Amino acid sequence: MNRRWIDLISRAFTALTGLACATLVLAVAMILGHVAYHGWAGLSWKFLTTAPRNGMTEGGIFPAIFGTVFLVVLMTVAVVPLGVSTAIYLREYAHADSRWVQAVRMAIQNLAGVPAIVFGLFGLGFFIEFVGKGIDAAFFGGKLYFGQPAILWAALTLALLTLPTVVVSTEEALRVVPRGHREVAYSLGATRWQMVRRVVLPQAVDGILTGTILAVSRGVGEVAPILFTGAAFYLPFLPTRLNQQFMVMNYHVYVLATQSPDIDATLPLLYSTVLVLLLLTLTLNSAAIVIRSRLRRRMKGSK
């Protein structure tokens, strides 16, 4: 092959890879632009702070925002300790190639492959019918408290769904801590737990938070797992207890898009709701990124 051909191929390849990147940017820009263009006008303080009215053709989305934040916070509280402990066990304590570790890893991989709707059904069957009904039978004399769709069960179902994300990213973060740092800790007389707590975990905070960010983004986005486990079509009140149902943004989008009696009246609301959902995800992500960079600076000492 002569030189000109090689140059040509090289240039074509450069152009192709650049094109791939441009496609990505364009897609994101189009989605954001379209939603922002149509949704911006409907955004107001009132929209954010009032409940839907008149068969969801008027009013705002406050209950859905509240429900979403509540749900995600609960989910995070559940998934981070569980996921991080699992990763620490797998990476720092367990024998690397034991049967047990292989079984756990296989379980995590399979968990990651389960479709979201199956998590929803599992949540219904396990958390509500088994755990919830069990609690009711054991502590409340069979009266209905926990054996029904509720924000607690929805959050736990989402936590299960996002568990692999947290485990895998934490494990990755633990893996890149140099072996030498562990040896230093041991040589200074650290116990295994002290080594993990004082030397390994501080360096893994980054990765743990990255995993949490991914988990939160995913949690905000998924509808299927919460469909049977606690998301409500419409509620006249805000959830204040763990065993109440809740409204949530992504399900609200679905409701507005498909269940409205008056499409023309609902459409602007729908755009604004989607815009708020996107902004909310963005805010949650940025908050996590800010926390992460703060931690990073505090840990390393000033430059």
Question: What are the residues binding other proteins (CB under 8 A)?
Answer: 178, 180-191, 194, 198-199, 202-203, 299-303
Q: Are 129 and 174 spatial neighbours (Cβ–Cβ below 8 Å)? A: no
Nearer to other proteins, 96 or 138 (CB): 96
Nearer to other proteins, 2 or 302 (CB): 302
Nearer to other proteins, 74 or 174 (CB): 174
In degrees and rounded to multiples of 5, residue 47 shows phi and psi of -60, -40
Nearer to other proteins, 137 or 188 (CB): 188
Q: What is the rounded distance in angstroms from the CA atom of residue 229 to the CA atom of residue 206? A: 32
Question: CA torsion 110→113→117→123, rounded to 10°?
Answer: 30
At residue 153's C-alpha, the angle toward residues 152 and 155, to 5°, is 65
Cβ 135 to other proteins shortest distance, Å: 40
The structure tokens listed for 151 are 């924000």
Cβ 295 to other proteins shortest distance, Å: 12
Cβ 210 to other proteins shortest distance, Å: 17
Distances (CA, A) of 18 to 4, 21, 33, 234: 21, 5, 22, 46
Q: What is the rounded distance in angstroms from the CA atom of residue 293 to the CA atom of residue 210? A: 11
Distance from CA of residue 76 to its chain's centroid? 8
Cβ 273 to other proteins shortest distance, Å: 43
Distances (CA, A) of 121 to 30, 147, 161: 34, 14, 12
Nearer to other proteins, 198 or 294 (CB): 198
Q: Which residues contact 94 (CB under 8 A, 6 or more apart)?
A: 100, 101, 104
Nearer to other proteins, 97 or 264 (CB): 97
Q: What is the rounded distance in angstroms from the CA atom of residue 211 to the CA atom of residue 32? A: 24
Axis-axis angle for helices 3-39, 263-300 (nearest 10): 120
Cβ 182 to other proteins shortest distance, Å: 8
Cβ 299 to other proteins shortest distance, Å: 6
Nearer to other proteins, 2 or 187 (CB): 187
Cβ 181 to other proteins shortest distance, Å: 6
